[in-house]
Structure 1
Amino acid sequence: MDNVAIVLFAGGAASRFPGKLEHPIDGRPMLARCFDRLRASDCKVYLAARGSFSPELDAQLDAPVIVDRHPGAGPLRALLDACAVIRAERIFAVAADQPNVDARLIACMTAAWREGDEALVPQHDGKIEPLAAAYDRRAALREGFELRSSPKHGVRDLVARLRARFVECPGDYFHNVNRPEDLP
């Protein structure tokens, strides 16, 4: 799938759960587990991060790192940085604190992409998941750069500006770990 790249976003501050990406889930650091589950998709996987991780975790991640040029500016800026570097037609954006996202979701979403789509966003239980979604790289750059200086400059705001389709998906994929009590 040369026209699709996955970007695993691992640059957040994790202020509610410091070190969460190194916390073990099923015996592996959460980030390494997420990476392995996505790598099974046969898409190239990139990491968007503030820099490197601990030497032990770095050794488990065989992926190029796109260093966050604007640390603390949020996932939209990280997505735009990734879109500026990666040449794939589509970027599948995945937050690294969603340990249940896997290659099956990537395959399902990739198969659902239609001509004219600029974003394909999972939805479940009345919620959308813009950080487990596929984006047309050029469209994200076109609309995202205009959003950077806007008061509304989140990934949801980007989705609102794109020709987005929403795909019903099982909510179990999108379990998000923000605090220790969120761990599976």
Structure 2
Amino acid sequence: MEKSARAPEHPDVTLALIAGGRGTRLSGVAKGLLVVEGLTVMERQLALAPLFAEVVLVANAPEPYARFGLRTVPDAIAGKGAPGGVHAALGAARTPWVFAVACDMPFVSAEVVRAVLAARREDVDAVCGEVAGRWEPLLAVYRARLAGAWGDALAEDPSLRRLLERARTQVLPESELRAVDPRLRAWVNVNTHEELALHSVSLPPR
């Protein structure tokens, strides 16, 4: 993928696309290749690239995404699911901050990304939103230096929320999120055939 000639809006942040496993509930398709309005989810997310210094794909089976030409890293500690994916992104980053997005989130917007990034402070190590009482760690920004402590903690198989609770995390309330995304579309993820139909998302052509 060719890098834009323009300077990134946030040169201190890497965008990490967390591919995770194959979508077993979606006939094994790579979820970043799901199609919305003629574009794959991956293409829609890569439209955010000008905001960032670099894009990194975290994938243990990267072959379906080869055509995008992204720097790709596997989990550094195998078998830890989404916490392991974020840890791999933190360890691979060449910038002080990492913005992590799951590859099954088709509707992430630049406005939402900017709102999360704007909440960073000197005394904060991570920023995520809260939707329906749940913290949303796969649309969130992290200091890359969390990688060491995060890696040590993975031996306990913690949830992403538990890891965030151990860090200095700023949690944005739902009211603030709705100010930039009234329907909270950015936090939609697609994992089932029912969700495909609900959000007008299609399987990739065979």
What TM bracket, shorter-length normalisation?
Answer: 0.7 to 0.9
- Separation of aligned partners in 2, 1:89 and 1:100: 26
1:182 aligns with 195
1:49 aligns with 59
2:43 aligns with 32
What is the percent sequence identity of the aligned residues?
26
2:66 aligns with 58
2:96 aligns with 89
- Separation of aligned partners in 1, 2:193 and 2:153: 33
Deviations 1:1-57 (A, max 9, x none): 221111010132322122133221111222222222x21424421111123333xx5
Deviation at 1:69, TM superposition (A): 4.2
Q: 1:29 to 1:71 in 2, by over 3 A?
A: farther
1:165 aligns with 170
Answer yes or no: is the 8 Å Cα contact 1:40–1:103 preserved in 2: no
Name structure 2 gaps, 5 residues minimum.
1-9, 179-183, 200-206
Q: TM-score, normalised by structure 2?
A: 0.78
Deviates more, 1:69-78 or 1:117-126: 69-78
2:159 aligns with 154
Q: Does 1:2 align with 2:2?
A: no
2:3 aligns with none
Deviation at 1:155, TM superposition (A): 1.4
1:120 aligns with 127
- Separation of aligned partners in 2, 1:2 and 1:98: 23
Name structure 1 gaps, 5 residues minimum.
none
Which residue identity lines up with residue 46 of structure 1 in the other structure? V
Q: CA RMSD in A?
A: 1.9
Q: Secondary structure at the match of 2:162?
A: helix
Deviates more, 1:99-108 or 1:1-10: 99-108
Which of 1 and 2 has greater Rg?
2
Deviations 1:155-181 (A, max 9, x none): 111101001111131322101101122
Which residue identity lines up with residue 137 of structure 1 in the other structure? A
Answer yes or no: is the 8 Å Cα contact 2:75–2:87 preserved in 1: no
Deviations 1:47-83 (A, max 9, x none): 11123333xx533x24211123445421111222222
